[in-house]
Homo-oligomer: A and B are copies of this chain.
Amino acid sequence: MKTNPGNFFEDFRLGQLIRHATPRTVTAGDQSLYTALYGSRFAVQSSDAFAKAIGYPAAPVDDLLTFHIVFGKTVPDISLNAVANLGYAECRFLAPVYPGDTLSTVSEVIGLKENSNGKTGTVYVRSVGSNQRGDEVLSFVRWVMVRKRDEAAPPPETVVPELAKRVEPAGLGQACPMLDPAAWDSGLSGSPYLFGDFAAGEKIDHVDGMTVEEAEHQLATRLYQNTAKVHFNQHSESQGRFGRRLIYGGHVISLARALSFNGLANAFHIAAINGGRHVAPLFAGGTVYAWSEILETAELPGRSDVGALRILTRATRDLPCTDFPVADGTPDTPGVILELDYWALMVR
């Protein structure tokens, strides 16, 4: 059979390296679409002039555009037969990505654990995105529950990798060149609040809401060349678990990040994602709101230009975040749909 059936649980081997198709040159066109899809307004990614003034050679593309493109490539090999995306960890941005860079992705199987039902298992992979010069631009671990093709296939040795609860501050900042904080123009960036103005425990309601249409999440997910069937096929999904197309979880992450501009306008760069959980699904017609909690602030070794905020952003569905809602554990309750724990950089 010449079509791709995807890998089943018993197809994965510990230590296996998987080179993913399709390499992708990121362009100004992708960045324009990203802006149109989410309304992102961070000045560094929006303006060559702003980026150059502070020390970038040009405006880098949005960090999450890089994430989605690197991630999208892994879908046909890792999660085509996935029952669930269980989590992310140790996601680090390692080099800036500029229009013209070509990204490709390699994954390594770093853990395997068959479930006691004998029908599924959890696969842990570390996926690394690199540019055309071989520089790593992004590295992250994700784990997914994958079906077995043959329930009689013997289980592999169980290996569950130890994953960091959070990326250490010393591991942050590689994708951010040394900046000139004096050149940071808070008028243009949209907020006077810089690194020193934030403290652990602070909560910020991002106020605005964004309703998602089917055409929007489909355009986005195809832009990332993510082929997961549940996002695109109403004919089959009408018979499926939800009766409708499920929106790519990364679309929700990007919406929450774009909404967070209102309150975190100077958090210009995502340096790392410590963990992420899609608490409940999102469907077209839903309106996404978001709020954030500052979990930690950290200085970066050897860097006096920028500091890091560890932020827990929660996105909700049809629920304004004035009261800072948290996941209540009942997935059918309209409410929190995303919890994203990440490090963002701000100038000091």
Of the 9-residue stretches A41-49, A140-148, A154-162, which lies at the interface with chain B? A41-49
Closest B residue by C-beta to A43? B22
Bound complex: CA A38 to CA B225 (Å): 9
Known: A29-B29, A222-B37, A222-B39. A191 touches B2 (CB 8 A): yes
Does A208 lie within 8 Å of B232, measured CB to CB? yes
Closest B residue by C-beta to A77? B190
Partner of A208, one of B35, B50, B221, B229: B229
Does A41 lie within 8 Å of B27, measured CB to CB? no
Q: Does A241 lie at the interface of the complex (its beta carbon under 8 Å from any beta carbon of B)? A: no
Closest B residue by C-beta to A59? B25
Partner of A287, one of B19, B102, B234, B320: B234
Partner of A48, one of B25, B211, B219: B25
Q: Does A274 lie at the interface of the complex (its beta carbon under 8 Å from any beta carbon of B)? A: no
Bound complex: CA A130 to CA B240 (Å): 47
Q: Does A16 lie at the interface of the complex (its beta carbon under 8 Å from any beta carbon of B)? A: no
Of the 9-residue stretches A115-123, A169-177, A199-207, which lies at the interface with chain B? A199-207
Bound complex: CA A187 to CA B19 (Å): 6
Determine how close the nearest CB of chain B comes to the CB of A32; give it in whole angstroms: 3
Bound complex: CA A191 to CA B20 (Å): 10
Interface members, chain A 4-51 (any B CB < 8 Å):
4, 19, 21-25, 27-33, 35-39, 41-43, 46-50
Partner of A37, one of B29, B193, B219: B219
Q: Does A85 lie at the interface of the complex (its beta carbon under 8 Å from any beta carbon of B)? A: no
Does B29 lie within 8 Å of A32, measured CB to CB? yes
Known: A3-B262, A216-B215, A222-B38. A104 touches B25 (CB 8 A): no
Q: Does A220 lie at the interface of the complex (its beta carbon under 8 Å from any beta carbon of B)? A: yes
Does B25 lie within 8 Å of A43, measured CB to CB? no
Does B234 lie within 8 Å of A285, measured CB to CB? yes
Partner of A30, one of B19, B24, B29, B264: B29
Determine how close the nearest CB of chain B comes to the CB of A284; give it in whole angstroms: 9
Known: A39-B227, A209-B236, A233-B287. A47 touches B29 (CB 8 A): no
Determine how close the nearest CB of chain B comes to the CB of A190; give it in whole angstroms: 3
Q: Does A214 lie at the interface of the complex (its beta carbon under 8 Å from any beta carbon of B)? A: yes
Bound complex: CA A19 to CA B186 (Å): 10
- A contacts, CB < 8 Å to B: 2-4, 19, 21-25, 27-33, 35-39, 41-43, 46-50, 59, 76, 99-100, 102, 104, 132, 187-191, 193, 197, 204-211, 213-216, 218-223, 225, 227, 229, 232-236, 245, 262-265, 285, 287, 318, 320
Starting from the known contacts A35-B223, A236-B287, 16 additional A-B residue pairs (CB-CB under 8 Å) come to A2-B191, A2-B264, A3-B205, A22-B47, A22-B188, A25-B59, A29-B33, A32-B33, A32-B223, A37-B219, A39-B221, A76-B190, A213-B213, A213-B215, A234-B287, A235-B287
